[in-house]
Amino acid sequence: MSLNEPDSCLYNNLGWAFHQSGDYENALQYYNHAIFFSTEDDIKATAYCNRGKLRYCFLNEKEEGKKDLDIAKVFGDIEATLFLSEINNQPELLN
């Protein structure tokens, strides 16, 4: 990676830091950047999961949050799978 390439992992981490501090709008923007610039499935999955939980729990965007979590699940994110199972109260999602 060159110095001019966006670092999707850094964007995701910044999103998480803003998320934890309660600055949800900035968190959302950094998660968006992480998703847009990521070329690695694991980082993209984590960013989708983080953005999904942010939308679902804190921004009152339940449907958008579920869509993000579904995408993270497709990328193999276990945390997204577990969270979806909890909110849907359907343990079969774990399989």
> How many CB atoms are closer than 10 A to CB 13?
17
DSSP state at residue 6? -
Instruction: Give tens-digit pLDDT for 29-82.
Output: 999 999 999 999 999 999 999 999 999 999 999 999 999 999 999 999 999 999
Instruction: Report pLDDT for 88.
Output: 85
